[in-house]
Amino acid sequence: MTGTKNQLISMRHYTSVHDIENLDELIQEAIQLKKENSAANLGKGKTLGLLFFNSSLRTRLSTEKAGRLLGMEVLTMNVGADGWALEFEDGAVMNSDKAEHIKEAAAVLSQYCDVIGVRAFPGLKDKAKDEEEQVITAFTKFASVPVVNLESSTGHPLQALTDAISITELKKKDKLKVVLSWAPHPKALPQSVPNSFAEMMQKMDVEFCVANPEGYDLSDRVLDDTKVYHDQDEALKDADFVYVKNWSSYEKYGEVLSTDSNWTFSKEKLALTNDAKVMHCLPVRRNVVIADEVLDSENSAVIHQANNRTYAAQAVLKRILEQLD
């Protein structure tokens, strides 16, 4: 009872995995919504505004679909590159390239939208600045409506909820071993997906560890007491789920220290596990991050995961709508 109540209150915003009070309940709700859309009119007359500072395919489509499944109108805006530069500094004299302050932007969007989703990637140059989460923090501060994180500098909580739903659906036994396994990639990618996945696994009743080369340990703040292996093979032993993902170095912030193809997830790596389900948030670079032979096998859960993006977003938006007057 109290749990439910607390959760509704805590689901004012969904900016991080930590905004979830009762994870099991939220996962079960998403699985129910997938079976039967029992909330098709909950969002009637409400508007969902999706604000993209960076490009998006899956997040855009699945969140638009989730909003519409709830009966909401969806307004999608691509900001960023061309023109609409926002000022975030308090007291700034705006006489150069920034045309609008976040104070006005967030306040105005709050009048056209009942819920605002925001995607804003990190620059991967300045660790302290990225960790400030300037964009998402400013929106929660200056918007008068709930804010949903569509992937920020340091987290991707909708993806992590999707992953939790997928593991719950696909697991074949109670006590699971889940491994987050780093993979090579030609470009420097954010730590947002692995961060939120790690935080989510810490909330679930699973044995969780991370495997990555030296120099690629995630932030201590995220890892907490999670065990980190620098030997991938050792980590993969008996794994029931392996989440394969590249990220750039956190220590040497934003750098690509290795593209070692020994870390590519192959059939040989799969053989070390307990016939594990292999996960990835997509898009995935075939034969660099994960080998064809794995992606095209029955062990791959990546399409299943992508489908759950819709229901993760729908469950979160449902919770948020329920506590709007």
SS3 per residue for 148-161: EECCCCCCCHHHHH
Number of residues that bind a second copy (CB under 8 A): 56
Q: Which of 18, 100, 126, 262: binder of a second copy (CB under 8 A)?
A: 100
Nearest by Cα to 13 from 321, 320, 312, 323: 320
**E strand or H helix that includes residue 2:** helix 2-10
61-69, 196-204, 212-220, 242-250 -> range binding a second copy (CB under 8 A): 61-69
Residue 292 binds a second copy (CB under 8 A):
yes
Residue 157 near residue 197, CB atoms below 8 Å: no
Q: How many CB atoms lie within 10 A of CB 256?
A: 15
| Least distance from a second copy to the Cβ atom of residue 112, Å | 5
23-31, 52-60, 233-241, 245-253 -> range binding a second copy (CB under 8 A): 52-60
| Least distance from a second copy to the Cβ atom of residue 84, Å | 6
Residue 39 binds a second copy (CB under 8 A):
no
67-75, 149-157, 163-171, 218-226 -> range binding a second copy (CB under 8 A): 67-75
CA 190, 196, 202, 206 dihedral sign is negative
Q: Which of 4, 6, 9, 92: binder of a second copy (CB under 8 A)?
A: 92
Closer of 12 and 285 to a second copy (Cβ): 285
Q: What's the token pair of residue 302? A: 């990546």
Residue 298 binds a second copy (CB under 8 A):
no
Q: Which amino acids are annotated as binding site for carbamoyl phosphate, given as ranges? A: 56-59, 84, 119, 156-159, 281-282, 309
Q: Which amino acids are annotated as binding site for N(2)-succinyl-L-ornithine, given as ranges? A: 151, 185, 245, 285
Burial 137-146 (b: 16+ CB within 10 A, else e): bbbbebbebb
Q: How many CB atoms lie within 10 A of CB 221?
A: 10
Using CB under 8 A as the criterion, what x/- string covers residues 106-135 for binding a second copy?
Answer: -xxx-xxx----------------------
Closer of 82 and 325 to a second copy (Cβ): 82
* Number of residues that this document lists for the chain: 325
Q: Following CA atoms 68, 72, 75, 76 in sequence, which dihedral angle do they give, to the nearest 10 degrees?
A: -40
Q: How many CB atoms lie within 10 A of CB 214?
A: 11
Nearest by Cα to 164 from 9, 31, 295, 58: 31
Q: What's the token pair of residue 89? A: 């500094």
In single-letter form, the type of residue at position 278 comes to V
17-25, 92-100, 119-127, 239-247 -> range binding a second copy (CB under 8 A): 92-100
In angstroms, rounded to a whole number, what is the distance separating the alpha carbons of residues 4 and 17? 17
| Least distance from a second copy to the Cβ atom of residue 228, Å | 26
Binding stretches for a second copy (CB under 8 A) = 47, 49, 55, 57-58, 60-62, 64-65, 68, 73, 75, 77, 79, 81-84, 87, 91-96, 98-101, 103-105, 107-109, 111-113, 186, 259, 282-288, 292, 295-296, 302-303, 306-307, 310
